[in-house]
Amino acid sequence: MNFDNVASYQADATTKRPRPVFTCDMAKKITAPTLLSNAERSPPVFHLVIDQLERCLANRERVEIAASSHTVPWENPDAYDRAVLAFMEKH
């Protein structure tokens, strides 16, 4: 997967263009039901991102997938699928 993304990694690392900014006010405008997911062993920075989104999104649910890290769909696909399908059934 990383090899497939080499070109985008290189472009991101060498661009002089500023990264687009996504603010809490922008997130507050999202009204669609949103599923926020973390993996139990995700790097801490991903938990911080989801923490902030959870504060900003009004119509959100959060799940943490056990026994996995950042590549949760590959590491614990059954638990991930159950979480996503349960969310979709509700909405």
Sign of the C-alpha dihedral computed for residues 44, 20, 52 and 75 taken in this order: negative
Q: What is the pLDDT of residue 10?
A: 87
> Which pLDDT score, from 0 to 100, does residue 39 have?
94
What pLDDT, on a 0 to 100 scale, did the predictor assign at position 18? Answer: 86
Q: What pLDDT does residue 28 have?
A: 97
- 72 exposure class (CB count in 10 Å sphere: 0-12, 13-18, 19+): buried
86: nearest Cα among 53, 40, 46, 37: 37
Residue 7 has a pLDDT of 87
Contact between residue 25 and residue 51 where contact means Cβ atoms under 8 Å apart: no
pLDDT string in tens for the chain (91-residue length):
678 888 887 888 888 888 889 999 999 999 999 999 999 999 999 999 999 999 999 999 999 999 999 888 899 999 999 999 999 999 9
Question: What are residue 37's DSSP bridge partners?
Answer: 63
Measure the CA–CA gap between 11 and 82, rounded to whole angstroms: 35
- pTM for the full predicted model: 0.79
